Structure 1
Amino acid sequence: MLADLSPLIAATTQWLTCAYPSGGGALDVALCEVQARQAVTVAAWLRYPTAMDAALVGMAGPGGSGRLDWITGADGAGSDDPDGYAWRTWVDEIVASWAACLLTDPELAELAVAEVTQGGHAAGTPVEFRRLVAPDERDRRAAALLRHPDLLAPVAELHHAQLLDRLKPGEALIA
């Protein structure tokens, strides 16, 4: 199942790490990417819970990073280089927004991980999301921008209510 969503997960992870990069060396960059990938994976598994959902997004495409680029001030990024822009077409705005929510809200991240580890995506596969749900100090330093609630707020707020409704049906109107 993971292979079906892998282009979407890779592109959305890349978008997040480009928009909110690590400021450190190679290890910090890797730690930041792992945290982003874990958040994006959980968000993608929540958004596309069945094989049919994954197949449909694979056929139709997720929509691209246009609005996300505009919101974060990267409007038109990569437009001069067609090869540099191609991956952006596989960015899923809702998955990026949900991942931003998970990166900035540990309680929500734990709820989401509990939901996906019981679902079909994780069935028969040992998965671990420790860096998402229990980051240590090194993880937090490496992903300081990626986990900063104020910086991610414009992206997280886009689809926050939908994520709450997915995880806690009926409570999205309260938030």
Structure 2
Amino acid sequence: MPTALSPVITASARWLLAAFPPATGPLNQALAEAQAGHAATIAAALRYPTALDAELLDLLGPGGSGRLDFVTGADAPPLTDATHAWRTRVDETVVSWAACLLTDADLAALAAACLTATHHGPDSVGDARRLTIPSPRDHRAAPCCATRTSSARSRTSTARPSSASSAPPRPPPPPSPGDYQAQGALNRAGKRGASQGLRPPTRMRP
């Protein structure tokens, strides 16, 4: 996890888990936390790809969860409460992009490949296979997982693979410096978020 972005990553992942809680059970909770953390890490690294971007974020702040709470209709506590001070570190764009990554494994793999072109590097997210190559168990545990897609990257499938599809998918080529393909893809995916199963929560857990 990029150190300079860790407060935003932690807060954004926490907001996602509170707004779209996983199924009950400690294993579901642990898997959902891992996937939300990976998604927020990738999104934050692409949102703030250079050291200067991270320094400006530290200087100006991410904006907080106020608008997200309003848009989703969640019952959010006042940010003046010290218990909920973490909400001031939530970044709206990071949350939106992370939600898209949680619903589309192929998009997550593309976004992870684009980390090569950032200051943080490809190793900043660690092992994100639960996000980029999710198993059926990961699908069930993931937040925002109502219509999660991973047509080419699921580890298991009930359908018999054809000869054309039996070969493992080729990883996307690493982008050249400054070529952030995932940013455009994430923005386009965000516009169709409603059709991806991102239903606004009726009430958010503190």
Is the contact made by 1:32 and 1:146 (CA closer than 8 Å) also made in structure 2? no
Q: For residues 1-175 of structure 1, what are the structure 2 equivalents within 5 Å?
A: 2-75=2-75, 77-79=76-78, 82-122=81-121, 127-143=126-142, 145-149=143-147, 166-167=180-181
Structure 1: any 5+ residue segments left out of the alignment?
151-164
2:158 aligns to what? Answer: none
Contact 1:78 1:84 in 2 (8 A): no
CA distance in 2, matches of 1:109, 1:122: 16
| Superposed structure 1 runs of 4+ greater than 6 Å apart | 169-173
Identity of aligned residues (%): 50
Using structure 2 for the length normalisation, give the TM-score.
Answer: 0.68
Letter in 2 for 1:167: Q
Q: Based on CA coordinates, which of the two structures has the bigger radius of gyration?
A: 2
Aligned-pair Cα RMSD in Å: 2.7
Q: Which whole-Å deviations, capped at 9, do the CAs of 1:66-107 have from their partners, x for residues lacking one?
A: 1111122214x1228702321101000000001111111222
Q: How many residues align?
A: 158
Partner letter of residue 48 of structure 2?
A: Y
Query: What is the Cα deviation at residue 169 of structure 1?
Result: 7.8
- Tell me if structure 2 keeps the 8 A contact 1:24–1:142: no
Q: Which runs of 5+ in 2 are unaligned?
A: 149-178, 192-206
Change over 3 Å in CA distance of 1:49–1:138 after alignment to 2 = same
CA deviation map 1:19-48 (0-9, x unaligned): 011122111101001100100000000000
Letter in 2 for 1:148: A
